[in-house]
Amino acid sequence: MTVVIGFEGSANKIGIGIIKDGEVLSNPRRTYITPPGQGFMPSDTAKHHRAVILTVLKEALEQAGLKPADIDCVAYTKGPGMGAPLVTVALVARTVAQLWGKPLLGVNHCIGHIEMGRLITQADNPTVLYVSGGNTQVIAYSERRYRIFGETIDIAVGNCLDRFARVIKISNDPSPGYNIEQMAKKGSQYVELPYTVKGMDVSFSGILSYIEVSASHKMLSSGQCAAEDLCFSLQETVFSMLVEITERAMAHCGSQEVLIVGGVGCNMRLQEMMGVMCEERGAKLFATDERFCIDNGAMIAQAGWEMFRSGQVTELEDSWITQRYRTDEVEVTWRD
């Protein structure tokens, strides 16, 4: 039996999870929430993480019913993410590993999402749509790498949704994306927005600029549409773009499975639209709920478990963090 503890804190979530041979023993999490109209600054987010990380660590061990001696390996998010929060969490993970005398493993955040999705859904070899506040990628496994077939060329889809929420002062509690999703259900009028797919890649900055300036200020103030209509229209447009590039990647790979991971993957409308496409192709859709879609410690533990079992460890002098760390940089030593 191999037991791995995972530390995640690349953005506004701080989570610590413990995995034992594919079983999630604990997965507590805290979220740094800012007032409506505001995003989260790296320094403030790191301050939040520092204040709660030891409490979350204690919870993780207590919920799992384990002592430090029962842990075989300490995994942490090496990147990508926001610098200050990443450093905060890496510092605690390094300290814990030394205090407990355990090996350390730096994990790619994106691969954490993929491996957690594969574990929970039991998807075999899916085409992966990874959508979050910081990343938007269409990924498929080939020859010991998670290859990126398409991605955003500017901002992530979650960042587009979050920034739109700021413009119309939607609450950040529990998350801007969740609140947009609920408002979109009440929308009835579709407002045409720019639809920007460039080959296998997508662009969201122009849509955001358009909806900020033209739609929000002009149409809302003149009463041409309601905020709910804009939420509905934004979701329909950006999710259609994502379904299109995912389908094209499936066709290229001859894949019959889609796995949606990342925080935006919780969105039921995205899952519904992707489900329609999969049904038309005779393919299967796999997705998880907010426990595992949203950043969490267990996903880092699971990727760490896979890496550790295949013989990987990170030496202390190599245990730095990096804000830019692409999914296809990692050699996947644990898959055929």
Binding-site positions: 109, 113, 130-134, 162, 177, 181, 267, 295
- Residues annotated in a binding site for a divalent metal cation: 109, 113, 130, 295
Can you tell me whether residue 218 is helix, strand or coil?
helix
DSSP alpha helix (H) spans, the chain = 42-64, 83-100, 109-121, 157-167, 176-184, 205-210, 221-222, 227-253, 268-281, 290-293, 297-309
- Residues annotated in a binding site for substrate: 130-134, 162, 177, 181, 267
Cis ω on the peptide bond leading into residue 85 (within 30° of 0)? no
Which phi-psi region, left, alpha or beta, contains residue 252 (left: φ > 0; alpha: ψ -120 to 50)?
A: alpha
Q: How far is CA 41 from the centre of its chain?
A: 18
Which tokens sit at 98? 């030394």
Question: How far apart are the C-alpha atoms of 130 and 202, rounded to whole Å?
Answer: 13
Cβ-contact 186, 209 below 8 angstroms: no
User: Which residues does residue 142 pair with via DSSP β-bridges, in sequence order?
Assistant: 145
Question: How far apart are the C-alpha atoms of 258 and 253, rounded to whole Å?
Answer: 11
Question: How far apart are the C-alpha atoms of 265 and 287, rounded to whole Å?
Answer: 7
Nearest to 147 by CA among 155, 138, 156: 138
Q: Is the dihedral of CA 185, 187, 189, 194 positive or negative?
A: negative
Q: Is the dihedral of CA 65, 70, 72, 73 positive or negative?
A: positive
Residues 6+ apart with CB under 8 A from 1: 20, 21
Nearest-10 Cα torsion for 167, 171, 174, 176: -20
